[in-house]
Structure 1
Amino acid sequence: MSRTPADLLRASRDALATVRTSAPLVQCITNSVVVNTTANALLALGAAPAMVDIPEEAGGFAAAASGLLVNLGTPGAEHRAAMRAAVAGATDAGTPWVLDPVAVGTLPVRTELAATLCAAGPDVVRGNASEILAVAGAGTGGRGVDATDDAESAAATAAALARRTGGVVAVSGPVDVITDGRDTVRVRNGHPHLTRMTGGGCALGAVIAAFAATGPDRLASTVAAVLTYTVAAELAADHANGPGSFAPAFLDALSTVDGAALESRAVLA
């Protein structure tokens, strides 16, 4: 498909409408800090969350789900086994899956696991710039979950990583960079309050998995997810006094953001 901003905006409107009407079932193997935030974000959008993270169940469920999120935030032994099983089940069934390599580079267990999972060919890798650089072997990670690099500095590495995995890489930051290794799109929407809300980045990975279920064009669906999420953040910030009031306002905005809001606020390049 064409990659012009107008075409991507049109595709984003269609993908959001499809999420609302199809209620994709998203399996989330995610970290214990953000389970509630992630589930609520999916519910607000109209998707259905399923936190199926027991190794004996994860693979079979991934085969039946609409999308899968694998988030490395708190990778205990059972979680790691569930991740491997879910990725195998998703791969066999053709279920799109998203890898969120939280805090890789600085911590050895998750860094090794991220490399293993990345080799399995995720449909989308989503992380901050330092995480993406570390996964690609071009950096040593950030300060815990915080990036010490900016998204633009990781753009070329993200494109190379996308070509290596055969999927899409989404680099989160004040300007989000999304690439499939051939085309690169920048989303200049969002609000700083997202970085001050627990799960602000992690829940985006689940939203990307939900949008991946809307069609085979992973670049377009990822742009749609990021655009919807960041426009909702702007809408929420209009009614918030700070991070505390932003969090519930953000869920409200995710439930009401529509194609018209995307049309009026989108800044794509």
Structure 2
Amino acid sequence: MSAHPSAVLVEPGNALALLRSSQPLTQCITNAVVTNMTANALLAIGASPAMCDIPGEAGVFARIAGGVLVNLGTPTAEQRDAAREAVVENARWVLDPVAVGALPIRTALAAELLAHRPAIIRGNPSEIIALAGAGSGGRGVDSTDSPDDALDAATRLAEETGAVVAVSGERDLITDGRRVARVSGGSPLLTRITGGGCSLGAVMAAFVAVTDPFSAAVAASAVYAVASERAEARGVGPGSFSPAFLDELDALTPRDSALSVRVSKGVAP
């Protein structure tokens, strides 16, 4: 499947059907804090996770993976080298620039990896603004900006890198520099569990294995919005939200009409 943008949005339900039928092998070079949640989210959505992040193996594995996640949450020296290997072997990769702008090592690494043209860049508004060179980042991993604050930076970053840029927040914003989609809804409890945002990057990597990057980012965001709201509706707190969220990811079907109604589309400014 090509990592290049498509002119036609594949509806989230159709993208989910493609993912469930192919069960894409999804390689994650991700941070140590979120590994378990990330793997479980991929399994729940119907993908096959592989946490292959060792230099000497990461590049080899990337050749057979459907999609690749590079998350900069805990960028050890080994993970940095593994990321460098993987991104030259698979064009269907997602960059999650955790805390970029606020911390120097990951900021330099993100700038280096951008030269290898990710299919999708997913981050919070402050991370996207910093990655575009328009700010200094948020408060650690927390954003101090809104998705709409990041629209200009996201559009410019998409134009410069050729990537689809997905900005997570109360209303997710996705752009390829020409089009903009917004995905409404989602539970605030996602911000109160470990891996709520980082595993979204992995799900985008799974979707980009089966469809174009714009459709993949939109589908992953819609799936997350619907599943997280349904988990919250069970009346749970953060401790029991995480397993409930995994249950709801697993329970989603491609025919679920709630997936498409979350998406609004427009043209980038």
Q: TM-score range by the shorter chain?
A: over 0.9
Corresponding residue number in structure 1 for 2:70: 70
Whether contact under 8 Å (2:174, 2:218) holds in the other structure is yes
Q: Secondary structure at the match of 1:214?
A: coil
Greater length-normalized contact order (CA 8 Å, ≥ 6 residues apart): 2
When normalised by structure 2's length, the TM-score is: 0.93
Corresponding residue number in structure 2 for 1:249: 244
One-letter amino acid matched to 1:231: V
1:212 maps to which of 185, 208, 211? 208
One-letter amino acid matched to 2:221: V
One-letter amino acid matched to 1:12: P
Corresponding residue number in structure 1 for 2:80: 80
Once the two structures are superposed, what CA deviation does each residue of 1:23-76 show, in whole Å capped at 9, x if it has no partner? 000000000000000000000111000000001000011011000000000001
One-letter amino acid matched to 1:130: S
Identity %: 57
Residue ranges of structure 1 left out of the alignment (5+ in a row)? none
When normalised by structure 1's length, the TM-score is: 0.93
Q: Secondary structure at the match of 2:263?
A: coil
Tell me the distance in 2 between the aligned counterparts of 1:267 and 1:14: 15
Cα displacement (A) at 1:154? 0.2
Cα displacement (A) at 1:265? 7.2
Tell me the distance in 1 between the aligned counterparts of 2:259 and 2:76: 43
Residue ranges of structure 2 left out of the alignment (5+ in a row)? 1-5, 265-269
Whether contact under 8 Å (2:222, 2:260) holds in the other structure is no
Root mean square deviation, CA, Å: 1.4
Tell me the distance in 1 between the aligned counterparts of 2:201 and 2:241: 19
Once the two structures are superposed, what CA deviation does each residue of 1:191-211 show, in whole Å capped at 9, x if it has no partner? 100011100000000000000
Once the two structures are superposed, what CA deviation does each residue of 1:61-109 show, in whole Å capped at 9, x if it has no partner? 101100000000000101100010111111xxxx400000000101000
Cα displacement (A) at 1:185? 0.5
Matches within 5 A, 1:161-176: 161-176=157-172
- The runs of 4+ residues in structure 1 deviating greater than 4 Å are none
C-alpha distance 266-243 of structure 1, shift in aligned 2 (>3 A): farther
Give the total of aligned pairs.
259
C-alpha distance 190-48 of structure 1, shift in aligned 2 (>3 A): same
Whether contact under 8 Å (1:162, 1:169) holds in the other structure is yes
Corresponding residue number in structure 2 for 1:136: 132
Tell me the distance in 2 between the aligned counterparts of 1:156 and 1:240: 37
Question: Given the alignment of the two structures, is residue 239 of structure 1 paired with residue 234 of structure 2, yes or no?
Answer: yes
Which of the pair is proportionally richer in helix? 1
Question: Given the alignment of the two structures, is residue 159 of structure 1 paired with residue 155 of structure 2, yes or no?
Answer: yes
Corresponding residue number in structure 2 for 1:230: 225
Whether contact under 8 Å (1:227, 1:262) holds in the other structure is no
